[in-house]
Amino acid sequence: MTVVPDGVPPDLFSAGELRLLGEAGIALFAGRLVLDAQPPIDDAALAAVAERCAGPLPEALVALWRITFGGRLDYDLRGDIGGQDVAVSFSELFHPGSDGYHDLWGWIDHECALAEEHRSGWSGRLAHLPIGGFEYLERVYVDTATGPDHGAVDCWRQGLPPGWELQTGDRVGRLADDLRALFGRLVLEHDPWTLEDDAVEAGTDLRDAVDELAGRADPHARTAAEKLRRLVRATVLDWRGALEQGTLAKRRRLRRLALDRAAAADDVELLARLVELGCDPAEEVGNGMTPIDVALRGGATAAVRWLLDQGVPVENGLLAGAHAVDAGLARDLIDRGATVDACALSQALANQDVEVVRVLSRAVQPDDELARLVPRLRTLAVQAGQDPHRSAVLTELADRFDRNHRT
């Protein structure tokens, strides 16, 4: 398969190098790598997809499919979804015969069935075509309807249980004005060539594919791989460089990434430097979480105490970190206005210090949500049999919630 690049200088790769990319299953669109790249779409399949859509297929989508009709992506993507800046999982480009929950045709049928069930007078053609996503949890769509939004890219996220990174409920949001713009937003938060081999971060599959290509015997392989490596590294977010240049505070994505990294690493010196440069220590850094939430979640106690000294809000602090705080910090957070509810108490049950559970339990009024914790509390009490104090506290709490629920 010959891979025709998109979004890179047309003479960057030689004919021999393009042949190697095709053999390795690597395609390029809008300057980003697609792995396990499928053969380009043919006219019959293109017409069949178009027949299911409300309007003409957007030019950028056709251009992508003329290069590769599906594959895998391995980049970081963030978007404003449901009023929050969240990580979006966009790891698969749907295609016929894929190994996912549905292939492209299956997802089209799925969307059509939903539209027919829930939309009165539906035309039978999709205004939003599912083109990729992550398993059944997140889907990315292109707008096919004629009008000002034609070609725009939207995302749907399935709702998550209460307490999962502070968000619940299905969410929908606009990601980009067109598919090329979306690919331009695919970046890497880490340089994959500086990560450990077993690191679970975006970009490691890109690294492995490029390194595998570099190891081939063909004389063009090494030069092709080096060009790909430069393209991949050009997408790495260099917040450290922006910090040294003094431009970090004005660049939202880099600023938030730096605050997140500093809080997670318990790096008080870096946090102080970021604040001196104009960064807000209470700014949301992602998924509704602020730096203190990140620090609490990871047990970064020095960062937590420093941020508390800055007077940052702590409303979500126990929702994020009840599993990692000590009893004294739990009391301090409650005194400062941290939310205590069934979700926070559920997080606290993973804390090794049962006194934290007791502290939070005294700050809540029993209700139906807390009553739902009773079976789990009794199970944990039995499992804590070798720790009589922990078992007694959990049993007492289960009895209290059960008694209040019954009355």
Q: Which of 9, 6, 13 is nearest to 30 (CA)?
A: 6
- Cβ atoms of 37 and 26 within 8 Å: the answer is yes
- Cβ atoms of 61 and 96 within 8 Å: the answer is no
CATH number of the domain that 196 lies in?
3.40.1580.10
Domain boundary among 207, 233, 259: 233
Q: Would you say residue 6 lies in a domain?
A: no
The number of domains in the chain is 3
Q: Would you say residue 5 lies in a domain?
A: no
Other beta carbons within 10 Å of 220: 18
10 Å CB burial of residue 375 (0-12, 13-18, 19+) is exposed
pLDDT number for residue 405 = 66
pLDDT-based confidence at residue 160 (cuts at 50, 70, 90): low
Residue 137 identity? L
10 Å CB burial of residue 66 (0-12, 13-18, 19+) is middle
Percent share of the chain, pLDDT over 90: 76
Residue 40 is classified by DSSP as: P
In this structure, the answer to whether residues 197 and 220 fall within a common structural domain is yes
In this structure, the answer to whether residues 25 and 122 fall within a common structural domain is yes
C-alpha Rg value of the chain to the nearest Å: 25
Q: Would you say residue 63 lies in a domain?
A: yes
pLDDT-based confidence at residue 165 (cuts at 50, 70, 90): very low
In this structure, the answer to whether residues 145 and 225 fall within a common structural domain is yes
In this structure, the answer to whether residues 250 and 226 fall within a common structural domain is no
Instruction: Please check the confidence at residue 164 and state whether its pLDDT lies above 80.
Output: no
Which residue has tokens 């126990």? 318
In this structure, the answer to whether residues 340 and 207 fall within a common structural domain is no
Instruction: Please check the confidence at residue 353 and state whether its pLDDT lies above 60.
Output: yes
> What is the rounded average pLDDT for all residues in the chain?
91
Q: Cα torsion for 7, 9, 13, 18, to the nearest 10°?
A: 30
Q: Would you say residue 7 lies in a domain?
A: no
Residue 399 identity? D
Domain boundary among 310, 335, 355: 310
Residue 55 is classified by DSSP as: S
Domain boundary among 218, 233, 248: 233
Kindly tell me the sign of the dihedral angle through the C-alpha atoms of 123, 127, 131, 137: negative
Q: Cα torsion for 64, 68, 70, 76, to the nearest 10°?
A: -60
CA distance 189 to 175: 18
Phi, psi of 188 (to 5 degrees): -125, 130
Q: Would you say residue 122 lies in a domain?
A: yes
pLDDT number for residue 131 = 97
**Global confidence as pTM:** 0.85
In this structure, the answer to whether residues 89 and 174 fall within a common structural domain is yes
Strands 71-72 and 92-93: antiparallel
Summarize pLDDT for 21-30 with one digit per residue, the tens: 999 999 999 9
- In DSSP notation, 300-318 reads -HHHHHHHHHTT---TTHH
Q: Would you say residue 128 lies in a domain?
A: yes
In this structure, the answer to whether residues 61 and 39 fall within a common structural domain is yes
- Cβ atoms of 58 and 178 within 8 Å: the answer is yes
Q: Would you say residue 8 lies in a domain?
A: no
Which residue has tokens 């792995």? 35
- Cβ atoms of 75 and 235 within 8 Å: the answer is yes
In this structure, the answer to whether residues 221 and 72 fall within a common structural domain is yes
Instruction: Please check the confidence at residue 144 and state whether its pLDDT lies above 70.
Output: yes
Instruction: Please check the confidence at residue 166 and state whether its pLDDT lies above 50.
Output: no
Query: What totals of helices (H) and strands (E) does the chain contain, helices first?
Result: 19, 10
pLDDT number for residue 294 = 97
Q: Which residues share a beta bridge with 92?
A: 72, 133
Instruction: Please check the confidence at residue 74 and state whether its pLDDT lies above 80.
Output: yes
Other beta carbons within 10 Å of 352: 10
Q: Would you say residue 139 lies in a domain?
A: yes
Q: H or E segment at 294?
A: helix 291-298
Could you list the residue range(s) of the whole structural domain that residue 362 is in?
314-407
Q: Which of 34, 30, 384, 389 is nearest to 209 (CA)?
A: 34
In this structure, the answer to whether residues 186 and 305 fall within a common structural domain is no
Higher pLDDT: 101 or 223? It is 223
CATH number of the domain that 277 lies in?
1.25.40
Q: Which of 363, 357, 301 is nearest to 338 (CA)?
A: 363
In this structure, the answer to whether residues 107 and 159 fall within a common structural domain is yes
pLDDT number for residue 197 = 78
CA distance 348 to 339: 13
In this structure, the answer to whether residues 218 and 247 fall within a common structural domain is no
CA distance 27 to 9: 14
CA distance 106 to 134: 14
In this structure, the answer to whether residues 131 and 221 fall within a common structural domain is yes
Q: Cα torsion for 390, 314, 319, 401, to the nearest 10°?
A: 60
The mean pLDDT of 216-231, rounded to a whole number, is 94
